[in-house]
Amino acid sequence: MPSPVVLETTGDAAYDDGPFHGVTPWVHNMPEGDSIVGAARRVSAAIEGKVMTRIEIRQRAGSHRAGTRVKRVEAHGKHLLIRFDDGTTLRTHLRMNGRWDTYPPEARWRRPAHRARVVLEADDGFTAVCFDAPEVELLRDRRDEAERLGHLGPDLCRPDADLDEMVRRFGHLDPATQLGVALLDQRIACGVGNVYKSEICFACRINPFTPIARIDITQRAELAATAARLLRANLGTGRRVTYANGYAVYRRARRPCPRCGTVVKMRRQGEPARNTYWCPECQPTLPDASTWPG
Ligand SMILES: [Zn+2]
């Protein structure tokens, strides 16, 4: 059982908070998979293996009996799963505003109590509190879980993620789907959010507006390997780095590309529209694709 030493919040840096241009922010904001792994580790350190003396689960999930032990805390893509020893699993999805905090005994909460969706207090006084998560539910068994999470692609944050499966799943998409949209689709693979989307395309030198049909098998394999490498390199590091000391193109519009000096571009992409950043020199459009941006 990990000892509860480091107790922190999820941190706002976990989210894509680029300019919204008047569009409802939450649809543009999703935590990246590495943030959820970080949250799972903190919650695990605080309550895993312990008997819960207080279990409160709000928002249509019903309550749960105190006295249940937390068997395991894990991240599954952007979902955080808390497995109890009675076979049930609590699933939360944080989206933009949600966050898991952990507290030592008697500590003051960082957000007001009425915003708590889940409160799990262990018999030694350590508490994990989930604030403002829009998705909270108690899954009764593995069948419930398969129904809820079965569509998800391989979880890129896991060392055993099946990257060949990710490559295969690209082939299930409408061939006209643009790469930037495909990478965010959690049915292809779990863990890529808006930050990694642009950074992966840059690393692979592929224009994010390229239709999947124009991306060959070798490039698909490279995209999968790069996505997994970048996400895993940032597990537990605190500060996300995808290129040199920061990001190559993400939120660097109108600044020089770190590789070639060309001005980085940004354009909104997909439905809902998300900011996509790329270098038009390093990530050129294909010759007969004059209708794409860049
Ligand atoms: Zn460049």
CA of 263 to the centre of ligand 1 (A): 8
In contact, 252 and 259? CB cutoff 8 Å? no
In this structure, the answer to whether residues 21 and 52 fall within a common structural domain is yes
> What does DSSP say about strands 70-76 and 274-278: parallel, antiparallel, or unpaired?
unpaired
Residues in the 5 Å CB sphere of ion ligand 1: 257, 259-260, 262, 279, 281-282
Domain boundary pick from 149, 183, 214: 149
Is residue 245 in a domain? Answer: yes
CA of 249 to the centre of ligand 1 (A): 9
CA of 98 to the centre of ligand 1 (A): 35
Taken as a whole, the chain contains a residue count of 294
Instruction: Report CA-CA distances (Å) from 179 to 5, 121, 166.
Output: 41, 43, 13
Rounded-to-integer distance, Cα 96 and Cα 93, Å: 9
Is residue 137 in a domain? Answer: yes
Burial of residue 109 (number of CB atoms within 10 Å: 0-12, 13-18, 19+): middle
| pLDDT at residue 58, as a whole number | 82
Residue scoring higher pLDDT (64 or 280): 280
Task: Quickly list H helices, 159-286.
Answer: 163-170, 179-184, 194-203, 217-233
In this structure, the answer to whether residues 117 and 198 fall within a common structural domain is no
In this structure, the answer to whether residues 78 and 182 fall within a common structural domain is no
pTM of the predicted structure, to 2 decimals: 0.81
User: CB neighbours of 245 closer than 8 A, spacing ≥ 6?
Assistant: none
Cα radius of gyration (the chain): 20
Is residue 6 in a domain? Answer: no
The CATH number that applies at residue 264 is 1.10.8.50
CA of 254 to the centre of ligand 1 (A): 12
Question: Active site includes 31?
Answer: yes
- State the catalytic residue, choosing from 4, 31, 211, 258: 31
- State the catalytic residue, choosing from 48, 74, 78, 199: 78
In this structure, the answer to whether residues 18 and 144 fall within a common structural domain is yes
Rounded-to-integer distance, Cα 9 and Cα 259, Å: 34
CA of 256 to the centre of ligand 1 (A): 8
Q: What type of residue is 182?
A: A
In this structure, the answer to whether residues 168 and 270 fall within a common structural domain is yes
Residues 6-48: tens digit of each pLDDT:
222 233 333 333 332 333 333 345 678 999 999 999 999 999 9
Is residue 22 in a domain? Answer: yes
In this structure, the answer to whether residues 113 and 184 fall within a common structural domain is no
| pLDDT at residue 188, as a whole number | 95
Residues 121-134: tens digit of each pLDDT:
999 999 999 999 98
Residues 206-223: tens digit of each pLDDT:
999 999 999 999 999 999
CA of 227 to the centre of ligand 1 (A): 19
Is residue 267 in a domain? Answer: yes
Instruction: Report CA-CA distances (Å) from 255 to 13, 30, 203, 236, 245.
Output: 21, 25, 17, 29, 16
CA of 257 to the centre of ligand 1 (A): 5
Is residue 89 in a domain? Answer: yes
Tell me, rounded to whole angstroms, the distance of Cα 114 from its chain centroid: 26
Is residue 5 in a domain? Answer: no
User: Phi and psi at residue 70, in whole multiples of 5°?
Assistant: -85, 115
In this structure, the answer to whether residues 118 and 196 fall within a common structural domain is no
Quote the tokens at residue 126: 């350590």
Sign, CA dihedral 206-211-217-220, equals positive
Q: What is the DSSP track for 104-132?
A: -TTPPPSS-GGGEEEEEEETTS-EEEEES
Rounded-to-integer distance, Cα 207 and Cα 216, Å: 13
The CATH number that applies at residue 24 is 3.20.190.10
Q: What residue ranges in the chain does DSSP mark as E strands?
A: 52-57, 70-76, 79-84, 89-93, 99-103, 116-122, 127-131, 135-139, 265-269, 274-278
In this structure, the answer to whether residues 126 and 182 fall within a common structural domain is no
In this structure, the answer to whether residues 274 and 181 fall within a common structural domain is yes
Domain boundary pick from 126, 149, 172: 149
> What does DSSP say about strands 274-278 and 265-269: parallel, antiparallel, or unpaired?
antiparallel
In this structure, the answer to whether residues 130 and 201 fall within a common structural domain is no
In this structure, the answer to whether residues 167 and 131 fall within a common structural domain is no
In this structure, the answer to whether residues 55 and 91 fall within a common structural domain is yes
Residues 75-123: tens digit of each pLDDT:
998 899 999 999 999 999 998 789 999 999 999 999 999 999 999 999 9
User: CB neighbours of 2 closer than 8 A, spacing ≥ 6?
Assistant: 44, 45, 48
Residues 241-267: tens digit of each pLDDT:
999 989 999 999 999 999 999 999 999
| pLDDT at residue 233, as a whole number | 95
Question: Active site includes 78?
Answer: yes
- State the catalytic residue, choosing from 4, 32, 154, 199: 32
Quote the tokens at residue 21: 């241009």
User: CB neighbours of 252 closer than 8 A, spacing ≥ 6?
Assistant: 264, 277
Is residue 73 in a domain? Answer: yes
Question: Active site includes 265?
Answer: no
- Number of domains the chain is built from: 2
Domain containing residue 134: 12-149
Listed residue (92, 133, 97) closest to 24, CA to CA: 97
CA of 55 to the centre of ligand 1 (A): 51
Query: Which of the four pLDDT bands, split at 50, 70 and 90, describes residue 287?
Result: confident
